[in-house]
Amino acid sequence: MKKKRLAIRTVILVLLAAAVAYTLYASLTKEKRSRAGVGEIAPDFVLMDLDGTKHRLSDYKGQGVFLNFWGTWCKPCEKEMPYMNNQYKQFKDRGVQVLAVNIGESNLAVQAFSDKYQLSFPIVLDKDRQVMNAYGVGQLPATFLVNKEGKIVRYHTGQLTEQAVKQFMESIEP
C-alpha cells in the first residue's frame, strides 16, 4: 500500500515539475509583443470588409492610409468615428484612405454601428486579432498614419478630435 502511494505521489510530482518547466520555457521564449514603429514599413495584411471585399494594405501604396483600430464597445472610438467619416469625405479624392480595423466583433454588431453613424470608409474585420497583434496594439482606439511609401509616420492612442483627424490626414496626403 505504501509503495503504491509513493508511486502515485512520484508520478504527480513528475507531472507537476514538467508543467512548471514547460510554463517557464514558454514564458521565457515567448516573443514579446512590440508595437510597429514609426519609420518602419507598416506590416502588410489582408482583411475582409462587411461586404466580403478583401483589403490588402499594400494595395494602398502611393496613398496615405489612416489606419484606425477600434471596437463598437469603445466610447472614445464611437466619438471619433463621425470625425473620421467627415474628414474621409474631404480627403478620399486627395489620396488619403481610411481603413478602420474592427477588433474581434461580429459582422452584425459592426454593421449596426456603421449604419448608425452612416460610415462611408472601409471597415475591415480582424476577427482573430492577428493584425492587432502584428501592430502591437493594446489600448483602443489606436491610429497609425502610413505614408504613400508604406512607412508608419505616426502612432496615436486615444480619442482624436476632428481637428486632429484633419491634421493627421493632411500629414499623409501624397
List helix spans (H) across 63-106: 75-91
Give the number of other CB atoms < 10 A from CB of residue 97.
21
Closest C-alpha among 73, 85, 74, 163 to residue 117: 85
The CATH number given to 46-171 is: 3.40.30.10
Beta bridge partners of 66: 98, 145
Q: Is the dihedral of CA 84, 89, 92, 96 positive or negative?
A: negative
Question: Would you list the domain boundaries of the chain?
Answer: 1-30, 46-171
Summarize pLDDT for 17-56 with one digit per residue, the tens.
766 666 666 555 444 446 788 889 999 999 999 999 999 9
Q: Which residues of the chain have pLDDT under 50?
A: 29-33
Q: What is residue 30's predicted lDDT score, i.e. its pLDDT?
A: 44
CA–CA distances in Å: residue 155 to residues 1, 7, 35, 136: 66, 58, 9, 11
